[in-house]
Structure 1
Amino acid sequence: MRPLPAHLPLSGGAMIRVLRRWVLSDLGIASVLALFAALVVVGIWLEPVDVPINLIFLPLVLGILFLSSRMLPWFAGYILLTLVTAGVLQEEYTIRIATALGVMATISVLVIVMSLRRGQIGVGPLRGQSMLVDLRDRILAQGEIPTLPREWLVESALSSAGGSPFAGDFVVATTRWRESLELVVVDVSGKGEAAGTRALQLSGAMGGLVGALPPAGFLPAANDYLLQRAWEEGFATAVHVSVDLATGVFELRSAGHPPAVQRHAGSGRWEMLQAEGPVLGIVEDVEYACIRGQLDQGDSLLLYTDGMVEEPRRDIELGIDHMLGAAESLLRKSWDGLADRLVGAVGSPDDDRALLLVHRRP
């Protein structure tokens, strides 16, 4: 079959698809917005009283949202040019018009500066935000509890400072060959969004390390990883527990973290498990002491960050007592959902908080 000549006209459907792709492209969006700004200038020229100069602000806002960092500086410069033209076409100046021109010109310059900084990342604003949200979701996914035998209840709860979606506290949970449960609670230095960027990177690394190394090697490897990063605020505290799902025997190691607490079902009392070890990212070649114990039926284990128990002008032991008192009061309803209820009941709202509950059902 002979090929069709290249000069044949496109069909109607093909032309619509080509036009749609062009309109949705960076150049197409910029062209449409530039045409709108030009029509505003023409309107000001024809009807300076009826057409408000503030209309030029609309394409600038849409350009900030949808244009790439490469196109945005040129478009902002074009908006500056249309502002100058619109100002020249004004028959008379009032304080309102002069203020509007000054504000929009300032915003245009700020947009140019902002887009040049954004160009270092190489993504547009909407895509950049979606990348951060995707990374945040990956942190939360690291803390999702895997499917466990029915006798085990494991819950985690997180709350960030000021309600920010990014936090420096996070949880990592995984199983090893369905025989043991590996759990890590981490508190990165700082709080809120400032610590969230470091937590994004650290959570991915810890998620890979905890499932690939034996329990004794996890914290030393995490410490080496932080030392290699050489962050200015590159330290973190962490607590790691490995639980044998068949017997309930656990190994617990801590890196400068608040002590874990175990509730013994037989006596109804809480016991603090104070494992020794320096914080991560400060000292080379460190060892982390191991505390061995067992979770019998009905026993529970709480791992948490300092935001749950530390407040200004209050000793941490008093904070732990307050948390355990609240836990006793809340667990009268049920162990299910206790992690969320406890995080909502205690701790400072101005600090990141994370809590991990491990309960062996009777």
Structure 2
Amino acid sequence: MFRKRPAQDGDELLTRLGSLTAQARRHAELQRTRVELAVALQRGMLPGDLPVIPGFHLAVRYSPAYSGLDVGGDWYDAFPLPDGRIALSVGDVQGHTIDAAAFMGQVRVGLRALAAVTGDPGDVLVRTNDLLLSLGADRFATCTFMRLDPATGVLESARAGHIPCVWATADGKAGVAEDEGGPPLGVLGGVHYPVTRYRLTTGGVFILLTDGVVEGPALCVDDGLDQVVRLAGIAAVANMEAGSLAAAVIRNAERVGHEDDAAVLVVGHDNREGGG
């Protein structure tokens, strides 16, 4: 036979539940504020405009993702160099915190500043790596840095622990760029970043991306890259504009169930002018 609980016990239980609910609400609000701050920090550090290059077409897409209630530090960038060539970069900072987003901004600014001194992609990464080590940073970043010569279509590429780019030509041939690469930035001193040269022919595309686009719970990185290769080949044959291709690639991140930021930078060589 059950005994009836005294009314004061019920009142005490309700009071405790109310207190716990209020604490949970305050915690959720604090976490939401942290996420909004980090996203705003990310957005504020990414470039608002892309260079306009006659005969070429640039487009970017960026999708922040959440790990728990934190965000990461992926970036993209494109800017003119003093000699008239164009610098292109994408990268990914280790970690998913506001600090990671802030560190992303430091790396991106460092790349821009050093690229104005030496546009060679390998030298840019060497100097950025040395800079991060000298600052005693407790984080590291992966990065692809490229230099495009609009007069010749030549792309010079160096990678620091980052996933490779994807290319396609107007006849539908497509693949993953096979450059050697080096370690992530901010890990080891005295390292070398080899430079690989490609030629972007008329109708061709190059896709720079971060691993959130091609890797997630639903897909391994190799299979994700294969999907982007197929997209790039179809887009090149169809003469798809860069903005549409970038949008199609970023949707790939949704299919892989990405838990990381996803950034895409597309450069296409065609007869259009302007950005996408």
Max Rg structure:
1
- 1 or 2, which has the higher strand percentage? 2
Residue 228 of structure 2, aligned match among 318, 323, 326:
323
Does residue 175 in structure 1 map to residue 84 in structure 2?
Answer: no
Residue matched to 2:4: none
2:180–2:194 Cα contact (<8 Å) kept = yes
Residue matched to 1:98: 12
1:326–1:342 Cα contact (<8 Å) kept = yes
Residue matched to 1:255: 160
2:38–2:98 Cα contact (<8 Å) kept = no
Deviations 1:26-51 (A, max 9, x none): xxxxxxxxxxxxxxxxxxxxxxxxxx
Distance between the aligned counterparts of 1:249 and 1:227, measured in 2? Answer: 31
Residue matched to 2:247: 340
Distance between the aligned counterparts of 1:314 and 1:231, measured in 2? Answer: 32
Q: Secondary structure of 2:71's partner?
A: coil
Residue 210 of structure 1 and its aligned partner are, at CA, apart by 2.0
Q: Secondary structure of 1:156's partner?
A: strand
- 1 or 2, which has the higher helix percentage? 1
Distance between the aligned counterparts of 2:20 and 2:164, measured in 1? Answer: 53
Distance between the aligned counterparts of 1:136 and 1:130, measured in 2? Answer: 10
Residues 281-300 of structure 1 mapped to structure 2, 5 A cutoff:
281-300=186-205
Q: Secondary structure of 1:355's partner?
A: strand
Distance between the aligned counterparts of 2:88 and 2:159, measured in 1? Answer: 12
Does residue 278 in structure 1 map to residue 183 in structure 2?
Answer: yes
Which structure carries more relative contact order (alpha carbon 8 Å, separation 6+)? Answer: 2
Deviations 1:297-348 (A, max 9, x none): 2221111122333356966444322221133345637223211221103544
Residues 99-118 of structure 1 mapped to structure 2, 5 A cutoff:
99-103=13-17
Structure 1 residue runs of 5 or longer lacking an equivalent are 1-92, 119-124
Residue matched to 2:108: 206
Distance between the aligned counterparts of 1:308 and 1:130, measured in 2? Answer: 22
Residues 10-21 of structure 1 mapped to structure 2, 5 A cutoff:
none
After TM superposition, the score normalised by the length of structure 2 is 0.75
Q: Match of 1:262, as an amino acid?
A: W
Distance between the aligned counterparts of 2:21 and 2:220, measured in 1? Answer: 49
Residue matched to 2:50: 146
Residue matched to 1:359: 268
Distance between the aligned counterparts of 1:261 and 1:109, measured in 2? Answer: 48
Change (3 A) 1:150 1:196: farther
Residue matched to 1:218: 124
After TM superposition, the score normalised by the length of structure 1 is 0.59
Change (3 A) 1:107 1:227: farther
Distance between the aligned counterparts of 1:361 and 1:243, measured in 2? Answer: 14
1:146–1:175 Cα contact (<8 Å) kept = no
Deviations 1:193-239 (A, max 9, x none): x255313223234224324331333211221233245455x222110
Residue matched to 2:274: none
Q: Match of 1:158, as an amino acid?
A: Y
Identity value in percent: 25
Deviations 1:136-167 (A, max 9, x none): 2213x33x342313422111122233497833
Superposed CA RMSD: 3.5
Distance between the aligned counterparts of 1:320 and 1:130, measured in 2? Answer: 30
Distance between the aligned counterparts of 1:180 and 1:339, measured in 2? Answer: 22
Residue matched to 1:350: 259
Residue matched to 1:16: none
